[in-house]
Structure 1
Amino acid sequence: MSAAATQLPMTAFAAQGNGRTIGPNDTIQFALIGAGIQGQSDTKNAVQVPGVKLVAVADCYDGRLAHSKELWGNDIFTTRDYREILARKDIDAVIVATPDHWHKQASVDAMRAGKDVYCEKPMIHLYSDGPEMIETASKTGRILQVGSQRVSSVVYAKAKELLASGAIGQLNMVTARWDRNSSNGAWNYTVPLDASLETCDWPRFLGTAPKIPFNAERFFQWRKWHEYGSGVAGDLFVHLFSGTHFITGSHGPTRAMATGGLRFWKDGRDAPDVMLALFDYAEGFNLSLRVNFVDGGDESEGLLFTGSEGTIDIAGNSLTLSRVPRESEPGLSIGTYTDAMQKQITSEYRKKYPLPHPLTAPVAGSEKFVAPRGYNDGYNHFVNFFDSVRTRKNPVEDATFGFRAAGAALLSNLSLQRGAVVKWDPNAMKLV
């Protein structure tokens, strides 16, 4: 259990929030900071969890604040300035779904104000963000859960169980992809017709980013620029890292090299639309990642875990286990030689491999695991988050896990920028 879960002396099922105690039957009141596409999606999942209530929303665009009232009621408090939310004593937790360059500051401010935090992925925008977020969670005793929902998926839990049981033998490679072929999938989100300095709080949006004149595309399509987002690495690779690390139990890669570039969406953005990356893991396997924003087909996502005796193929809410056990007597090929030669070879093998030892080819097989109809790991992730808020137990994806996943993902950007292999210490969580 982490320091964040142990520093506060608490009774079971009771959490000391910002001035009030949350009992097992009390309603957890939360707020949304950043009501864009992901923030709204997160909140739609969160409000379905029994015993929670949305009471406030902060966003830099007036249209989203008005839409929040349409979605969740006119009694919702709305503001451009999230600090007004943090000052309220009746709010126990917040969802931080801002652009990446605001994740650290909004999360740190919230924890210092006594709020528990669900922070969207990637947890960091800069490597320097990670240690401060981890330290703040520890010092304040606040819950910080990162929003890569696969860590709460029953499909990924099944894959973790299968791998640990030796179902595919010794893991040697993980291959993952997330390809898209739509304008919206490539971050060309709709820019509202009323976008202006009057309806958008441009200075607040910029925050620590370079100060430039108002640009509606950068405000609403911020993922296309590294000043505010983290490219495909922070948007998509980080999900694949989270899943890989959860299933394998690894802390992360030790080396990375990436390539890619702007192959199609040459619209002023500086974030590549094609990226491929390779990673070495000290546990003895390699990870290969790919994102292509013009893949010529439907959106496609998946992870393939390859071992010495089989594979685990994850696609959406299902996985397929395929087993092809290795031959128990390497080099002994029945039926290849004359009878006399076969007897001699068999005799030599029997000295080395005493009976019982099969001489027939191993039997292959496969099985499929499918999550229940209507299953939603995003909802499950919020169930886990609010359970941590109540019990003060360590969240399923705490700040350390989130930093290791995001830190590994951002190695891709660094390698592409430098045109070289980059090294990472996954235990110390530092660039080497």
Structure 2
Amino acid sequence: MTTTRGPGSGQADGKAEATRRSFLKSTAVATALPAVATTALGANVFEIRREGSAAGRPAGPNDRVRIATVGMGIIGFIDTRTALKVPGTELVAVADLYEGRRVHAREAFGDHVKAYVDYREVLARPDVDAVLLCVPDHWHARMSIDAMKAGKAVYCEKPMVQKIPEGREVIAAEEQTKSVFQVGSQFASSLVYEKARELIAAGAIGAINSVEARYNRNTPLGAWRYTIPPDASPETVDWDRFLGSAPKRPFDAERFFRWRNFKDYGTAVAGDLFVHLLTGIHKATGSLGPNRVFGTGGLRYWKDGRDVYDFIMGLLEYPESKEHPAFTLALQCNFEDGGGDGTLFRFVGSDGVLRVNFTELTLDRTGIKEPTREAVLKGYNSVVTFSDAMQKRLAETLKVDPPFVAPRTGAASYPEKFRVPAGYDERYDHFVNFFASVREKTPVYEDATFGLRAAAPALLCNESQATGAVKGWDPVAMKVTGRVTVS
């Protein structure tokens, strides 16, 4: 049984750690995500699931992955609890700038878990194999780079960066250190989007031409108005450390506990939620990203002192590539959707439409309908405006229904529905994949390059919304190309 120790444990402990780390790198643990299988539940209804268990075999004491979480806010606790469900994981440390969260982390996970204020103390521990970074956006790049340079595997919550130039710095650190680095946008590992990718690649909807996606909310909590504890003060919060590279200002509990509402620390609605949508779309289509981005919106309802908008729409143009035809993407996030919240995708192609939500895909293959002879001659068509002689001539020419559109072959009865099993959690799958990569040094599902390609278009939506300019983006070189004139 290995004993958890802090920094400065001595040479003997260092040798034991080196042996254990070598084991982690060289031993294959069967936790890679299995392929997607489909089982019929009824007429045109199917369950999609993993072939076999995604959990893999229980890990032995020497191949356990010891984790530490930095940032014990809402997602910090959710991610930690999810990670600990994966066999062979153990929490040894946490870090947070608010005293109450450090206390609760030990209440929730045990007194053996060491709680720190400074994340660098976590990185200095030789027994920490992987860190979960669940911190405000303006800390993502700095902490990710520091952690990789400290020899840790990194699971960084989305968006990967607050500013686009930081993305190349994270990619460079990943390449230089050879660290396992995964962005925490769980749609990348979701059964739903793996099945969507399979269907699109198989031509189920024909040539894709457009995608519509929304992520709406209709509650104060959904609009980031999180509860502020009564004991919030400079004595219980390390305010200066929280600010980091952000502009200096006096202590403000609202900025600390509701940081997403402020440009200094977050990435607004697009950075928080468009990134999820873009991750799912890029996973399903295999796309590298758009080349033209336009965002529009504003602060419409939650006028509570925040300096970011609460409604945004984005229009993104995806150029033709070897992965897909050219298509247009329409995105929406609305924090005051009086009709209810919800997440929905529509992948639209020439042969059909694929509708996707958290738990289900619906494939409808109506396709482009071929008009009948009657519709051509007497329906909503220009023929009815021609002279009687011309209408008669066309009627003689058109003896049977015209084959304007080639009929689809092998068409089945539609729509078809594909559902995940009850209780399915794509976040768990994302962690299963992450820890498999930590043990086996295999590629992750969402590395730094994927992470930047999902984050950058969202951040460009922010810039476009603020300036009114259409933004250009090179999805291959991953660089801003300036203002683009729409032809």
Contact 1:18 1:89 in 2 (8 A): no
Quick one: which of 477, 480, 485 aligns to 1:431? 480
Which one-letter code corresponds to 1:127 in the other structure?
Answer: I
Q: Structure 1 CA distance, aligned partners of 2:339 and 2:107?
A: 35
Residue 340 of structure 2 is aligned to residue 298 of structure 1: yes
| Corresponding letter in the other structure for 1:324 | T
1:412 aligns with 2:461: yes
Task: Say if 1:18 and 1:114, in contact at 8 Å, map to a contact too.
Answer: no
Quote the offset at 1:309 in angstroms.
1.1
Which residue number in structure 2 is paired with residue 219 of structure 1?
A: 256
The alpha-carbon deviation at position 342 of structure 1 amounts to 4.9
Aligned to 1:369: 418
Alignment of 1:101-120 (within 5 A): 101-120=138-157
Aligned to 2:280: 243
- SS of 1:21 mapped into structure 2: helix
Q: Residues 363 and 240 (structure 1 numbering): CA distance in 2 closer, same or farther, change over 3 Å?
A: same
**What is the aligned residue count?**
411
Aligned to 2:296: 259
Among candidates 303, 306, 313, match of residue 355 of structure 2: 313
Instruction: Quote the offset at 1:332 in angstroms.
Output: 5.8
Question: 2:189 is matched with which residue?
Answer: 152
TM-score normalised over the length of structure 1: 0.90
1:38-83 CA-to-partner distances (Å, cap 9, x unmatched) read: 1111111100000111110001011111110111111101100011
Deviation readout 1:230-258 (Å, 9 max, x if unpaired): 00011100000000011011110111111
TM-score (norm 2): 0.80
User: Residues 163-174 of structure 1 correspond to what in structure 2 (within 5 A)?
Assistant: 163-174=200-211
Does residue 182 of structure 1 match 2:226?
no
Aligned pair in 2 of structure 1 residues 151, 349: CA closer, same or farther (>3 Å)? same
Asked if 1:270 corresponds to 2:312, the answer is: no
For 1:195, the equivalent position in structure 2 comes to: 232
2:398 matches 1:345:
yes
Alignment partner of 1:399 out of 420, 426, 448 = 448
- Shift of the alpha carbon at 1:365? 1.9
Structure 1 counterpart of 2:362, which letter?
A: T
Find the counterpart in structure 2 of residue 11 from structure 1.
Answer: none
After TM superposition, the structure 1 stretch with the greater mean CA deviation from structure 2, 129-138 or 335-344, is 335-344
**Separation of aligned partners in 1, 2:82 and 2:474:** 35
1:345 Cα deviation after fit: 2.5
Output the CA distance in 1 between the equivalents of 2:260 and 2:18: 36
Percent identity between matched residues is 49
Describe the superposition over 1:61-119 as per-residue Cα deviations: whole angstroms up to 9, x where unpaired: 11111110111111101100011111111110000110000000111000000000000
Shift of 1:297: 3.2
Q: Is the 8 A contact 1:59 1:79 kept in 2?
A: yes
Structure 2: distance between partners of 1:348 and 1:38: 59
Task: Give the gaps of 5 or more residues in structure 2.
Answer: 1-16, 30-59, 321-325, 378-390, 482-487
Structure 2 counterpart of 1:96: 133
Structure-2 residue corresponding to 1:7: none
The CA distance in 2 between the partners of 1:358 and 1:400, in whole Å, is 41
The CA deviation at 1:325 is 2.7
Paired residue type of 2:23: T
Q: 1:63 to 1:318 in 2, by over 3 A?
A: same
Q: Given residue 200 of structure 2, which amino acid in structure 1 is its aligned partner?
A: L
For residue 381 of structure 1, what is the amino acid of its counterpart? H
Question: In the alignment, does 2:70 pair up with 1:21?
Answer: no
Q: CA separation in 1, counterparts of 2:22 and 2:220?
A: 46
What do the CA deviations read for 1:361-414 (whole angstroms, capped 9, x no partner)? x98720000000100001110000000001111100000000000001111111
- Higher radius of gyration, 1 or 2: 2
Q: Mean alpha-carbon deviation: is it higher for 191-200 or for 336-345?
A: 336-345
Letter in 2 for 1:106: M
Root-mean-square deviation over aligned CA pairs: 2.4
Unmatched 5+ stretches in structure 1:
1-14
CA distance in 2, matches of 1:32, 1:325: 49
Q: Following the alignment from structure 2 to structure 1, what is the Cα–Cα distance between the partners of residues 247 and 205?
A: 49
Whether the aligned pair in 2 keeps the contact of 1:324 and 1:364 (CA below 8 Å) is no
Q: In structure 2, how many angstroms separate the alpha carbons of the residues matched to 1:78 and 1:331?
A: 69
Q: Does 1:79 align with 2:125?
A: no
1:256–1:113 distance in 2 versus 1, CA, 3 Å = same
Q: How has the CA–CA distance of structure 1 residues 335 and 195 changed in structure 2, closer, same or farther, with 3 Å as cutoff?
A: closer
Q: Distance in 2 between matches of 1:288 and 1:204?
A: 38
More displaced 10-residue stretch of structure 1: 21-30 or 185-194: 21-30
Corresponding position of 1:378: 427
